[in-house]
């Protein structure tokens, strides 16, 4: 048995879960998410969800823990939500937003303007003497990670000075420079 897959998911108050023909729908105060599933059985019993598989084939074992984790992320997302923070490290690197448009100055000859999905709320924090921070919040963990990865891809942190867009708390592997 999958260690992750066999543990049940507790449904918090204010969250409803429906299972219909291979689709799980989770509704909560933050929003609604759906996920298709195959090769496993999802059962809702009271305030708990269990994910079971019918056999021990390799693809079913792999999907057992996967679908359990996806459903758990959906439940946490619609009840609490997820947050990711990105830090812009570098001289002259700036971030600002007007509604859902993120304007980044990352040392290129032009500013990068990115339209953020409406499901993701955007906030930019710029304090004097500190690196600018882009704060992303959403109920959809997959979409949030995709948006954060897209922003980070514009200028990945380099290993010598650490300049670039990095996640807050991310530990970078640093290299020593030239030695004369």
Q: Given 1.25.40.80, 3.90.930.12, 3.40.50.720, 3.20.20.140, which CATH number is that of 3-79?
A: 3.90.930.12
Which CATH superfamily groups domain 82-167?
Ribosomal protein L6 (3.90.930.12)
- Identical fold, 3-79 and 82-167: yes
Chain segment 109-168, per-residue pLDDT in tens:
999 999 999 999 999 999 999 999 999 999 999 999 999 999 999 999 999 999 999 999
Domain boundaries defined on the chain: 3-79, 82-167
Chain segment 56-103, per-residue pLDDT in tens:
888 888 889 999 999 999 999 999 999 999 999 999 999 999 999 999
Query: SS3 string of the chain?
Result: CCHHHHCCEECCCCCEEEEECCEEEEECCCCEEEEECCCEEEEEECCEEEEEECCCCHHHHHHHHHHHHHHHHHHHHHHCCEEEEEEEECCCCEEEEECCEEEEECCCCCCEEEECCCCCEEEEECCCCCCCEEEEEECCHHHHHHHHHHHHHCCCCCCCCCCEEEECCCCCCCCCCCCC
Whole-prediction pTM value?
0.89
């Amino acid at each position: 048995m999958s260690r992750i897959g066999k543990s049940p998911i507790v449904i918090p108050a204010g969250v409803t879960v429906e299972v219909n023909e291979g689709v799980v729908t989770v509704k909560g105060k933050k929003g609604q998410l759906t996920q298709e599933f195959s090769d496993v059985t999802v059962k809702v019993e009271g305030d708990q969800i269990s994910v079971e598989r019918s056999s021990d084939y390799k693809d079913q074992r792999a999907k057992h823990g996967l679908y359990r984790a996806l459903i758990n992320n959906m439940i946490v997302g619609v009840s609490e939500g997820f947050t990711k923070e990105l830090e812009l490290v570098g001289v002259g690197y700036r971030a600002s937003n007007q509604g859902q448009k993120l304007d980044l100055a990352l040392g290129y000859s032009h500013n990068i303007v990115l339209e953020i999905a409406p499901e993701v709320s955007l906030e930019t924090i710029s304090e004097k003497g500190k690196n600018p921070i882009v704060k992303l919040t959403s109920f959809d963990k997959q979409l949030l990670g995709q948006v954060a990865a897209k922003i980070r891809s514009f200028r990945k942190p380099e290993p010598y000075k650490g300049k670039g867009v990095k996640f807050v708390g991310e530990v970078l592997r640093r290299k020593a420079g030239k030695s004369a």
